[in-house]
Amino acid sequence: MLKRFLFLVPLFFLPQALVAAEDARLTVEIAGQEERGVRPDLSAAMRQALPLLWDRLIPISERGTAKSLSGTENMISRISPGEEVTQVEFSHQAVFDYLSQTGIAYLATAPSFNLVIKMRNSVGLPMQQTELLLKEHARQTVQRWGIEISSLAPELVFEWQWIDSSQVQLNVLSDTRLPAFSQTRDIGGRDPFEYLQEWIDELLLQARDAYAFVPDPTSVVKGTQETANLTGWLSISRALSLGEQAILEDTLRNDPRVLQLTPHTYSNQGLRYKLTLKGANTSWLADWFNRRDLQIEAVANGWKVE
């Protein structure tokens, strides 16, 4: 009876905002209704919203394929019309089921970075005003690409050093999946600030796309993913608060790579779940738990998390 009570507590006594881990990328804003009281045109909303959704979920390398993806109208869960802006909310399950069936690479979750921008002039002095303006540009544009900026996320550092009036050297330092590298560019007659804005967009997309999930091509036949699921026990020995526990369960259960997550045991020794993955790819689990400050390792009957 105690186990059953512990299972119900996170579901009924926590605020809904804690239980539901929403993916902000799935809410897209399009042009508002021109006339009040007009029932939203589902097909028109789909045509306008889908390219914006794909911009957030599909890596640059797949954009050519993405243009041919028409989706299905059942992917839209709600439309909230407005005179200036209409919000189109997509169903998490329907969207990622559709992408899995196409076999296209996609961003299963929104990558999060602690973005640091440094800029020095040709004599090595900090260009603080330019740094602030570039940071503001990044903050205003990352939502379009389905990226989150957070001081708690892995650090991504862009360091620019002007060599002369047209040449600038970039050093990228990274705790993310984007490898550290350096390069020098000549901006020619371009406006320097405009060029740097475009360069930041390019770098952020590279960092984001490093997190793309690529479906196993051997499990996709004529656009339909075969069932080759992997089931095991997921044991978590780390002590979690009820809020952390609820968020972890809900986020993992709603991940498109998870077919089922069933609670089995809640005790002083930890948590135990039956976890079924879509397909047999487990390579993403380590990164998924690392981003939540947890370590996972494969054991004989599944996975252990500490």
Instruction: pLDDT band for 220, please (50, 70, 90 cuts).
Output: very low
> Using an 8 Å Cβ cutoff, are 114 and 148 in contact?
no
The residue-averaged pLDDT of 127-139 equals 96
* Predicted confidence (pLDDT) at residue 285 exceeds the cutoff of 50: yes
pTM score: 0.65
Higher model confidence: residue 86 or residue 239?
A: 86
Taken in order of first residue, the domains within the chain and their CATH numbers are 24-102 (no CATH), 112-209 (3.30.160), 220-305 (no CATH)
139-170: pLDDT as tens digits: 999 989 999 998 888 999 999 999 998 999 99
38-56: pLDDT as tens digits: 566 778 888 899 999 999 9
12-40: pLDDT as tens digits: 333 333 333 478 999 999 987 655 555 66
- High-pLDDT (> 70) share of the chain, %: 84
- In the chain, the amino acid numbered 221 is V
Instruction: pLDDT band for 127, please (50, 70, 90 cuts).
Output: very high
pLDDT of residue 53: 95
The residue-averaged pLDDT of 292-304 equals 80
- Per-residue DSSP letters for 119-187? EE-TTS-B-HHHHHHHHHHHHHHGGGGT-EE-TTSPEEEEEEEE-SSSEEEEEEEESSSSPPEEEEEE-
- Per-residue DSSP letters for 246-276? HHHHHHHHTSTTEEEEEEEEEETTEEEEEEE
Instruction: pLDDT band for 81, please (50, 70, 90 cuts).
Output: confident
Instruction: Give the separation between CA 126 and CA 119, rounded to whole angstroms.
Output: 6
